[in-house]
Amino acid sequence: MGAPASKSKNEKRFFEVRLQSVVTGQPINFDLFLVVSGKPLLFRKQKDTLSEERLRSLIQHGGQKFLVPEEQRVLYLQSLKSMVNNPDSSEETKSKYIKESAYLHVNDLFEKESVAETVKDAEVLVSEMVDFVSDDVSAVANLMQLSRHDYYTYNHCVDVAVYSIALAKQLYGNNREMLIQAGLGGLLHDIGKRKIDIQLINKTTKLTQEEWAEMKRHPEYGKELLIEVPHIPEEARRAVYEHHENHDGTGYPHKKRGDEVCELSKLVSIADVFDALTTERSYHKAMSPNEALDTMFGMQPGKFDPDIFEVFNKRFDKKTNLKLLSDFDPCHAVSITKIEKK
């Protein structure tokens, strides 16, 4: 999983960044390329300035991404960081750049060979997010509003981390240890998918029975991978292993029920389904948060711990007329096509 690094003919490597992630009206400290007829074309050089109007016009014309040379990744991340640390930046701007930086780092989470290094990066990332949301209640809301809707497949992990931190904040206040565990559980919950064939993960048609069986092994694969990282908090480890267990014992891998599942796993499970529903997939449009929560409410009693779900649900109140079939699984896009109007 991860952002496809593009290569030009002379093998120059690039990574993708969203148009909106580039700061306008001041010199940029990296080169920006656009993809024209399938090839990277230099659009702005280091130290050039991109105007707000020019950026808006690119977006209006359907532009989605810039390419930045791989060797300038550190410069790009520095520029995001300086926006976050700038006292003149609004909370909204800070949230935007924290998330951009998280999305970019999370690419490495799934591509680095060493799981120990991956987890070390995840810890740094989560502690940055937690520091940010600990300061200010509106920061959580800002981070939650910035879902990137299917731009990179690994967005999901960052978004689940954000929702898990937000829910943990409602449950545990500013207990930093709990917020970190929730963020790590969210960020790493699908780490077992590293062991699953990428073709299967990206398959956009119905999965065969054997394919489903393999997909459903990712919690166990995740548990195995984390053996290499003994210091990771037990709750975060359990979230990796238990996030597909259901409150009524109908989940997997072990059909655990009720309090056999740890609280953090229950919380990550809610965040996981919420993100799957509110993110645009190849076969379904993103639901609004209210639609998603109402849909999830319809999966009660059974799927989620009712008390924890109620805490999450409190933020929203509108009703919709959507429902999911009972075998919905947040792991695979096609399962979401089973949304039916009542």
- Of 102-110, 189-197, 247-255, 294-302, the window that binds Fe ion (rule: CB under 5 A) is 189-197
Name 101's Cβ contacts closer than 8 Å, sequence gap at least 6: 77, 80, 81, 84, 128
Residue 64 CB, shortest distance to Fe ion, in Å, is 24
Residue 9 CB, shortest distance to Fe ion, in Å, is 37
- Of 24-32, 105-113, 248-256, 272-280, the window that binds Fe ion (rule: CB under 5 A) is 272-280
Residue 161 CB, shortest distance to Fe ion, in Å, is 11
Contact assessment for residue 267 and residue 182, using Cβ atoms and an 8 Å cutoff: yes
Handedness of CA 103, 106, 189, 323 (dihedral sign): positive
Q: How many residues does the chain have?
A: 342
Q: Which of these is catalytic: 65, 96, 99, 193?
A: 193
193 belongs to the catalytic site = yes
- Give whichever of 67 and 331 is closer to Fe ion, judged by the CB atom: 331
Reduce the DSSP state of residue 306 to 3 states and report it. helix
- Give whichever of 123 and 272 is closer to Fe ion, judged by the CB atom: 272
Our finding on whether 272 is near Fe ion (CB under 5 A) is yes
- Of 29-37, 105-113, 185-193, 224-232, the window that binds Fe ion (rule: CB under 5 A) is 185-193
Contact assessment for residue 265 and residue 168, using Cβ atoms and an 8 Å cutoff: no
Our finding on whether 242 is near Fe ion (CB under 5 A) is no
Our finding on whether 190 is near Fe ion (CB under 5 A) is yes
* CB count in 10 Å sphere of residue 26: 9
Name 33's Cβ contacts closer than 8 Å, sequence gap at least 6: 14, 40, 41, 42, 43, 66, 67, 68, 69
Count the site residues for Fe ion by CB under 5 A.
Answer: 2
Q: Which residues bind Fe ion (CB under 5 A)?
A: 190, 272
Q: Please list the active-site residues.
A: 193
